[in-house]
Amino acid sequence: MRRNILGLRGFFFALIAVLFFTRTDIYSADFQIKSLRIYSNHDQTSFPVLDLSEKTKNLITIEFDVQSDNMPNLSIVFRFCDSDWNVYDSAFLLNPLYNTEYNLWFDNLPITVKGAHYHYSGSFPNNNVNFPYSGNWMFFIVDSNNRDLVYSSGRFFVVQPFVKMNVELAKEGLQGDNSQFAILQRSISIRTNFTLPDTLFPSNVKKVVIIQNRKMYYPIVIDRINYTEDRFYEWNASNKFSFIARNLHPGNRYRETDIRDIGKYNTPTVSAKFGNIETSNLFTKEGRDFYGGSLLMNFKNEYADYMNVVFKLRAPDDVKSSIFLVGAFNNWRVLPEYEMYDDKGMMNLSVELKRGVYDYQYVTGNVVGDHVENINWEILEGNFFETDAEYYIFLYYATPEKGGYEKIIGYKKINTGAL
């Protein structure tokens, strides 16, 4: 069913639950957006950050398929947001002349491809769209004739990092944890240090947000107002700051399913591990991954089909909570609809995926209403200091420009493999 969110205020405040590059939020039986992804430049495994300070060409790419009997008539609308992803309801921040890509151009998928008919790929900024402010941005795929009809959406960052940040990493033992497994007590801390320029006001420094790999919906937030023993800041009452996040699990490298091989995966329904049954990774280190990303087969390939991929897990007997599948195909959101079902002691779930490589994991939690609580990312996947992970660190500042907004004045990408 399609949602109607025409009014500016209704449009802006009804968007907290939208996805970054996976599920279609609004669809009907004869129209679906599939495999929606956003990434930097033309590297489909990259995190979506556009750096305004980069001198070389810097782009954000949006790509998706459409299942429809008729040629789609769609546009993409871009909106500027605060640090909590609430769209600004301000005429000064709408960027009205350069916020829409009209009447998207689609390529026909090969007639042999099952599951979709059309493909779109576009990179921004371009002649129609630009991003004049650093901060959080969202895009909305809408009907060109009725922009009330929002079919799907996504998130990305625009940064202009003129504040240099120094980041320190340290290994720690998890404070206040009584887990029976020592492996789950391993943690790291991230300390972000910076000196604010004299032209800026220390009181306007808002927060530091850290994202591990692709977990955009589970950010590590160090707020100057709502700080805790594990998330706090230090300030010298002048222009020097340190924001500290402690008790962070390093986790494990991700599992991967690679369903590109036409010879092995040649039926409408296939196994994520080619017939193998997976087990707990609590004491097993995984190998190379895409830091939570995916790598899909080229849309021009005549075998780039959609298939039902079956994930099977034999969970340990002592795991009593519900088990959920999470990965690049659902934006790393632990959702009730991805809860695995118990089939005579075997946990199963089937997901429709396009041929490609996908990172994923199994996590535990409890469904409460329409969301999942008490999420545990490590009990089935392990927790190792050697885990090679990416962390994206953003520094937010409340500027009075344009009536006031939160902009990103510092940005740093780090890798924990050196630990």
d(CA 330, CA 22): 5
Q: Over the chain (419 residues), what is each successive 10-residue block's mean pLDDT?
A: 35 36 46 96 94 86 96 97 97 96 96 96 97 98 95 97 96 70 92 97 98 97 94 97 97 97 95 91 94 97 96 94 97 97 93 98 96 96 96 98 97 86
Digit-coded pLDDT (tens) for 144-200: 999 999 999 999 999 999 999 999 999 988 766 556 678 999 999 999 999 999 999
pTM above 0.85, yes or no: yes
d(CA 274, CA 260): 12
pLDDT of 12:
38
CATH of domain 165-251+386-418: 2.60.40
CATH: 1.10.1750, 3.20.20, 1.10.3680, 2.60.40. Which one for 8-159? 2.60.40
pLDDT at 314: 96
Q: What is the pLDDT of residue 11?
A: 37
Secondary structure (H, E, C), the chain:
CCCECCCHHHHHHCCCCCCCCCCCCCCECCEEEEEEEEEECCCCCCCCEEECCCCCCCCEEEEEEEEECCCCCEEEEEEEECCCCCECCCHHHCCHHHEEECCCCCEECCCCCCCCCEEEEEEECCCCECCCCCEEEEEEEEECCEEEEEEEEEEEEEECCCCCEEEEEEEEECCCCCCCCHHHHEEEEEEEEEECCCCCCHHHEEEEEEEECCCCCCCEEEECCCCCCCEEEEECCCCEEEEEEEEECCCCCCEEEECCCCCCCCCCEEECCCCCCECCCCCCCCCCCCCCCEEECCCCCCCCCEEEEEEEECCCCCCCCEEEEEEHHHCCCCCHHHECEEECCEEEEEEEEECEEEEEEEEEEEEECCEEEEEECCCCCCCCCCCCCEEEEEEEEEECHHHCEEEEEEEEEEEHHHC
Question: What was the pLDDT predicted at 379?
Answer: 96
Tens digit of pLDDT for each residue in 225-249?
998 999 999 999 999 999 999 999 9
Q: Do domains 8-159 and 165-251+386-418 have the same CATH topology?
A: yes
Strand partners for 129: 99
For residue 54, the model assigns a pLDDT of 84
Q: What is the pLDDT of residue 177?
A: 58
Q: Could you tell me if 253 and 285 are in contact, meaning their C-beta atoms sit under 8 angstroms apart?
A: yes
- Every domain of the chain and the residues it spans: 8-159, 165-251+386-418, 255-376
The pLDDT of residue 394 is 98
Q: What gap in Å lies between CA 76 and CA 129, rounded to an integer?
A: 10
Contacts of 153 (CB under 8 A, 6+ apart): 15, 18, 19, 25, 138, 139, 140, 141
Fold of 255-376: Immunoglobulin-like (2.60.40)
